[in-house]
Structure 1
Amino acid sequence: MPDLPEAKPVLVTGATGRIGKVVVADLIERGYAVRATTSKPLAADGGEVDGLLEWRRFDFMVDDDWDGLVNGCCAVLHLAAELGKMERMQQVNVEATRQLAEAAERQGIAAFCYASTVSVYGSGRQRLIDETSPVLTVDRDIASQYWALDYVRMYGRTKLAGELALRAVAKRTRFTILRPAVVVDINQLIGIRDWSPIKRLLAAHRHAHHIYVGDVSDAMIWFIVRGLAGRGLPGEVEVYNLAEDDCPDPRHIDFMRKAFSVSHDRRYKSVPIPAIADWLHDFLRFRTLPLRNPLWRMRFSNQRLKEAGYRFRYGMADAQRLALSTLEKSAGIREAER
């Protein structure tokens, strides 16, 4: 393992996002210096430095000093992505990823971890999905491959194009592509109570595909450290699903029932409709053939992740316990105030 306090900084793009905030904090806690990117203005022209944390303003739509961004770092953890605005996805998710990877190669970066997504699989014809399963057609939109809204399909295709860009660039740097499932924090687990009655009715029975943000951060750092330690071949590109679909109580309704029992909040009450009715709803909504599996029917294998030696630091069971504890405390405070 590298000498963490004396290591060069790890570049973290997308550092202000849901995952990025946790990754930056985890890296610093473990003794790494961090160079974090943001597109927001900084108070100092040359960036802001606070102990082990250095902020760099960098807009993936317009800035082009990729070598300057990467120079002096030991590794890159690329989280930045455009999730909603279709007109930005090609530049941010594909071109910027390619340019960042090329800079990493030129600057002799040892390890590069790219956050992709399980959306690259679209709506599979098979329910069990591993890293060898078919993926979306990357160069054109085929609506029947993914039962999703237009921007979601484009997000999946551009993230897959980002993966292919890494493969085209890879020569010396060790690249790891992680495909997370649905990343959640504690507040998002609790926030299920704010769903509309219709969404609770339709989605309660669904497999949530949740993976705790703390585990996503831990896994990404684990692979970075692995690459810095020289594991894997230079120029190698490894791909892993980052999912915990084999966790206990994986459905939304499972958590909702526990949450109601500790909080007595009726917003967690729901009677789920039969799964076949939900499937027919999706089929009629997207009207595509051949028949495929919506996301909630698919299962993402993490066997390759286990074979690499990684084990989740927390797990969804612990994340749910923390969320339930938070709800129970809040319910106790409300009761005491009455």
Structure 2
Amino acid sequence: MPSTSPVLVTGATGFIGSRLVEQLVEDGHDVRAMTRHPSDYDGPGTAVHGDVSDAESLIEPLDGVRVAYYLVHSLDRPDFEEVDARAARNFVATAEAGGVEQIVYLGGLGAEDDELSAHLRSRREVERILQSGTVPVTVLRAAVIVGAGGISWEITRQLVKNLPAMVTPRWARTRTQPIAVDDVIRYLAGVLGRPEALDRVFEIGGPDALDYVQMLQVASEVGTGRRRPIVSVPVLTPRLSSYWLALVTDVDITTGRNLIDSMDIEVVVTDDSIREIVPGEPVDYAEAVRRALEEGGHRE
């Protein structure tokens, strides 16, 4: 049922946020699309100004909101852990003061007992900060999200497109559980206002647990009809790998390094209880790749 109160989506112009706003509006919700530059916003919903780094700017967009989606992170800067933690503290304090009834956060997969990378550690810290307030939080944890414009997918697409053969680091044999962006949006929209989703953490993923080499091979087969020769070597450090990515893709070195640091950690779904609340089978990786290629380009 559509919410009678406004729903706030932070990061409304981003890879996930823009799609989520579209879905929530289609579902009949009154959506506030939060952005630092509302005058430039041309998507659905009502554009509102807000900046998670400025607590005062959050008061107006959160006023009267029942459910708020937190979809903000700062991988493109070296101090992202500190920046993201401070932003989460601003958001949870303002949401609490404004009477928000549910925060929905998209975090990262990874076992609690693993030695998490800075990227995943930051996602988990933001999760804890959001949970530290009185507003019930619903957390969805995902690994690689496959869709046009997503950083992880763009790396895969451009590697397959630009290189006739690939030499990959040892971490490329680490398993992950990719998920189509359509399924991420379905899960995000599906937990809105659901009492049984409050104060819970859900793992979301597609049906395939693959290593990065397998993902590159499938993407090559779907996109070009043929496999790329791929050789794994042990000598590419995360720093060298980030320079390698910057050389053959348009992903900047800082973002590439922060992502690569997470790629030697296995991130697979161990609990599928999300399906009790949002039923339906997620699409497989090959279909996710087909959809991403069909959509093409970058979504801003």
266, 270, 291: which one pairs with 1:322? Answer: 291
Please report the RMSD computed on the Cα atoms of aligned residues, expressed in angstroms.
3.7
- Structure 2 gap segments, 5+ residues each: 242-260, 296-300
Query: Contact 2:52/2:90 (CA < 8 Å) preserved in 1?
Result: no
Q: Secondary structure at the match of 1:116?
A: strand
Query: Contact 1:35/1:53 (CA < 8 Å) preserved in 2?
Result: yes
Name the CA distance, whole Å, in 2 between partners of 1:322 and 1:84.
26
Query: Contact 1:209/1:296 (CA < 8 Å) preserved in 2?
Result: no
Give me the identity figure in percent: 20
1:102 and 2:93 correspond: yes
Which residue pairs with 1:126 in the alignment? none
187, 196, 208: which one pairs with 1:219? Answer: 187
1:9 and 2:6 correspond: yes
Task: Map residues 186-335 of structure 1 onto 2, 5 A cutoff.
Answer: 186=148, 188=153, 190-194=157-161, 196=163, 199=166, 201-202=168-169, 206-226=174-194, 230-231=195-196, 237-244=199-206, 246-247=207-208, 250-254=210-214, 256-257=216-217, 264=224, 268-273=227-232, 277-278=233-234, 295-296=263-264, 298-306=266-274, 308-311=276-279, 314-317=282-285, 318-322=287-291, 326=294
21, 29, 34: which one pairs with 2:31? Answer: 34
Name the CA distance, whole Å, in 2 between partners of 1:49 and 1:7.
24
1:134 and 2:113 correspond: yes
131, 140, 145: which one pairs with 1:167? Answer: 131
Q: Secondary structure at the match of 1:166?
A: helix
Query: Contact 1:116/1:180 (CA < 8 Å) preserved in 2?
Result: yes
Looking at CA atoms only, which structure, 1 or 2, has the larger radius of gyration?
1
Q: 1:282 to 1:241 in 2, by over 3 A?
A: farther
Q: What whole-Å deviation, never above 9, does each CA across 1:259-291 have from its counterpart, x for those lacking one?
A: 55566577x512343xxx54x7559989xxxxx
1:113 and 2:83 correspond: no
Name the CA distance, whole Å, in 2 between partners of 1:283 and 1:88.
18
Name the CA distance, whole Å, in 2 between partners of 1:258 and 1:68.
46
Name the CA distance, whole Å, in 1 between partners of 2:214 and 2:176.
10
Q: Please report how far the alpha carbon of residue 320 of structure 1 lies from its aligned counterpart in structure 2 after TM superposition.
A: 3.4
Query: Contact 2:68/2:100 (CA < 8 Å) preserved in 1?
Result: yes
Name the CA distance, whole Å, in 2 between partners of 1:321 and 1:87.
35
| Letter of the 2:21 counterpart | V
Query: Contact 1:28/1:53 (CA < 8 Å) preserved in 2?
Result: yes
Q: What whole-Å deviation, never above 9, does each CA across 1:221-250 have from its counterpart, x for those lacking one?
A: 111231xxx336xxx621222233x427x3
Q: 1:204 to 1:69 in 2, by over 3 A?
A: same
Which residue pairs with 2:82 in the alignment? 90
Name the CA distance, whole Å, in 2 between partners of 1:66 and 1:283.
37
Q: What whole-Å deviation, never above 9, does each CA across 1:76-98 have from its counterpart, x for those lacking one?
A: 0100111121335423x222222
Name the CA distance, whole Å, in 2 between partners of 1:215 and 1:64.
34
Query: Contact 2:69/2:105 (CA < 8 Å) preserved in 1?
Result: yes
Query: Contact 2:172/2:264 (CA < 8 Å) preserved in 1?
Result: no
Name the CA distance, whole Å, in 1 between partners of 2:237 and 2:213.
19
Name the CA distance, whole Å, in 2 between partners of 1:296 and 1:315.
25
Query: Contact 1:190/1:323 (CA < 8 Å) preserved in 2?
Result: no
Which residue pairs with 1:141 in the alignment? none
Q: Please report how far the alpha carbon of residue 30 of structure 1 lies from its aligned counterpart in structure 2 after TM superposition.
A: 1.1
Query: Contact 2:89/2:130 (CA < 8 Å) preserved in 1?
Result: yes
Q: Secondary structure at the match of 1:193?
A: helix
Q: Please report how far the alpha carbon of residue 53 of structure 1 lies from its aligned counterpart in structure 2 after TM superposition.
A: 0.8
Which residue pairs with 2:15 in the alignment? 18
Query: Contact 2:173/2:212 (CA < 8 Å) preserved in 1?
Result: yes
Q: Secondary structure at the match of 2:39?
A: coil
Q: 1:199 to 1:10 in 2, by over 3 A?
A: farther
Name the CA distance, whole Å, in 2 between partners of 1:295 and 1:255.
13
Q: 1:195 to 1:297 in 2, by over 3 A?
A: farther
- Structure 1 gap segments, 5+ residues each: 122-128, 136-144, 287-292, 328-338
Query: Contact 1:180/1:242 (CA < 8 Å) preserved in 2?
Result: yes
